[in-house]
Amino acid sequence: MNGLCDTWLGSMIIGGGNWLLDGLTLLALGVFGTAPTDSQGPVTWADYNTQVVLIGTSCLGFAAGLVGCFALLRRQALVGDALSHATLPGIAAAFLLAEFFGGDGKRLEWLLLGATCSGILGMWMMMQLERLPRIKPDAAMGIILSVFFGAGIVLVTIVQQTEAGHAAGLESFIYGKAASMLRRDTMMIASMAVAVSVVVGLFFKELKLLCFDEGFALARGYPVSRLNALILALVTVVTVIGLQAVGLILIIALLVIPPSAARFWTNSLGPMCWISAGIGAMSAAAGAIASAWAPDLPSGPMMVMTCSGIFAISLICGPARGVLARLARRRDAAGRRT
């Protein structure tokens, strides 16, 4: 019985993946005049690398869209931008340290560990700057973003001058390269997406209250500072895990654009989270496949452009706050007054 269920589920997944790829192929033929291909020929869902990239990018987009809802409502969306830029010196430093001690500086685990440490340091320094009387939050974010990114560029330049640095591939963390994802990378991203979803589900009521009425949450005895730290921790996890696929410059797009688009479709936080997660997953998967049409283009910008297209559609056609819906409500209100 389990074998039949697995066979049926596998057939559904492969069929759905081929349907998506067929649609993208038709779009590519209409826009570019060519079908998506890689070095082995036409891209199909049956290809192992295609499955790895699609599943990994979809899970990343899902988690980013989900966490981005709370960051957007807390007006902390650009914190992810400062955090992502703050990870670059950690990536380069981790490579240099690993090579110095005789290890493999290209191992993803070491690079992500360095990115995490550098990102946490950047967040801590930003919070300390915000406590100063004459430093506003936006100024603190700008300072951390520029200083850490500048330090990262210097360290990356040093890395490229080493014997193994020219083949380190650290530039993929700047612009993203989803095609280089391995099975272990996909498993890591999928595990992160599950963990993020579980945490959001467990603390959804508290996070919802924090986003809409922080004063009331504080009066009811909720640990506001810890809940705020939880949101920042979720943003940190998503940012660090998504560096390889999207890049540190554009990871902020998956945290901001999907929830912004979702707000045009609903006025409720619960549906907004699901819609945002769905938009993030679809955008990431479609962008990763679209990058196969033009191998010279990194996957990060393709994901962002796909996500931006969905945002434009939501802006115009969203039933809750879209342009057409607002015009219709204004016309109905004018008709009732007359």
72 burial via Cβ count (<10 Å: 0-12, 13-18, 19+): buried
Residue 25 lies in a domain: no
The reported pLDDT for the residue numbered 168 is: 55
Query: 22 lies in a domain?
Result: no
User: Mind giving me the DSSP string for 289-312?
Assistant: HHTTTSTTS-HHHHHHHHHHHHHH
149 compared with 245, residue with greater pLDDT: 149
Check residue 198 and give its pLDDT. 93
pLDDT in tens, 84-110: 888 888 888 888 888 777 776 677 778
CATH number of 251's domain: 1.10.3470.10
Q: How many domains does the chain divide into?
A: 1
- Which residues have C-beta within 8 Å of that of residue 290, sequence separation ≥ 6? 24, 28, 36, 302, 305, 306
Distance CA 277, CA 68 (A): 9
**What pLDDT does 165 receive?**
56
Cβ neighbors of 66 (< 8 A, separation 6 or more) are: 196, 197, 200, 273, 276, 277, 280
Q: What is the pTM of this model?
A: 0.79
Distance CA 71, CA 69 (A): 6
pLDDT digits (tens, 9 = 90+) for 29-52: 444 444 455 544 555 555 667 777
| pLDDT band of 274, cuts 50, 70, 90 | very high
**Is 97 part of a structural domain of the chain?**
yes
Q: Transcribe 47-84 into DSSP letters.
A: SHHHHHHHHHHHHHHHHHHHHHHHHHHTT-TTHHHHHH
Is residue 37 situated within a structural domain?
Answer: no
Residue, of 291 and 239, whose pLDDT is higher: 239
Asked if residue 59 is part of any domain, the answer here is: yes
Q: Is there a domain that residue 243 lies in?
A: yes
Please compute the mean of the pLDDT values over residues 2-19 and round it to a whole number.
46
Task: Taking residues 68-75, report their average pLDDT.
Answer: 87
Range of the domain at 133: 47-337
**pLDDT score for 161:** 78
> Is residue 9 in a domain?
no
Residue 30 lies in a domain: no
Confidence at residue 13, expressed as pLDDT on a 0 to 100 scale:
42
* Residues 171-214: tens digit of each pLDDT: 667 777 776 777 888 888 888 889 999 999 999 988 888 888 88
Query: How many residues can be counted in the chain?
Result: 338
Reported as type and span, the H/E element at residue 41 is: strand 41-42
